[in-house]
Amino acid sequence: MKVGFIGLGIMGKPMSKNILKNGHELVVYNRSRASVDELVACGAEAASSSKEVAEKCNVIITMVPNSPQVREVCLGKDGIIEGAKKGTVVIDMSSIDPVESKSIGEELAKKGIELMDAPVSGGEPKAIDGTLSVMVGGKKETFDKYYDLLKTMAGSVTYVGSLGSGNVAKLANQVIVAINIAAVSEALTLAVKNGADPALVYNAIRGGLAGSTVLDAKAPMMMDHNFKPGFRIELHIKDLNNAINAAHATSTSLPLTASVMEMMQALKNDGCGKEDHSALVRYYEKISAVSVEKKD
């Protein structure tokens, strides 16, 4: 299968390499030429624009930062819509506002181009080893047709529903993760302020109902003050903002999401935007005048 890939960033580059490793032809485009050259060295063909990718491929994957960039590569000057033939399928694997997914899909459909939204969870390590979790919205028959292609990049690929549903699932995931990180931060701060050892408290509660993947992944990072990014605060702010925008479009109230996003925004203003989202504990440490960091 000849596949187009637009967006060779932290996630897109390893994802595209996994497509090549599984025997597909690949045509790539990225604003930064260095990433394109790296993929060409791996066997891909370079394109000079999104339009050229669309001229050469009947299925195109996009992996760009947010809704405006998806709109640009799909509908803008030299975009996919200018080069694609009727029947082309675009699989947008970016994490964006589901309202925008539907809007962009409607514009592409006028030219006979079909859009699926297929955001991913797992971060750079899972993009590299090809074990991402993918949540897909769109037509079921199109999902079935390209399931094997998506599996070249993923450990799990799940059909969620109609167009936009993939991004709804991704935003629901991001809401749960953000609020859980805030809860862990709050709990560890409570422990320290009341004279308890946060490591002992963590070990006491992790086997009960409070135990979670978030607790096990993020509490040790908080206590080590190791905020090397697996997922940056500034990116989580973007996802929560998209969640709130989608909520406003459907008259849904997300008070906890809004609160955590404001905490993260405060940290970004303090220069912590590129740190891991576990650095949310810094917000609690600041307002409570305490540190949860383990003592040597």
Q: Could you list the active site residues? A: 170
Give residue for tokens 């990116």: 235
What residues contact 164, with CB distance under 8 A and at least 6 apart?
Answer: 98, 99, 101, 102, 105, 117, 137
**What is the C-alpha radius of gyration for the chain, rounded to an integer number of angstroms?**
21
DSSP-derived 3-state class of residue 188: helix
Structure tokens at 87: 């029947």
Tell me which residue of 44, 46, 4 sits closest to 20, measured CA to CA. Answer: 44
- CA 285 to chain CA mean position, Å: 27
Give residue for tokens 């033939």: 85
Distances (CA, A) of 246 to 8, 21, 167: 27, 36, 10
Structure tokens at 184: 């862990």
Handedness of CA 165, 167, 169, 172 (dihedral sign): negative
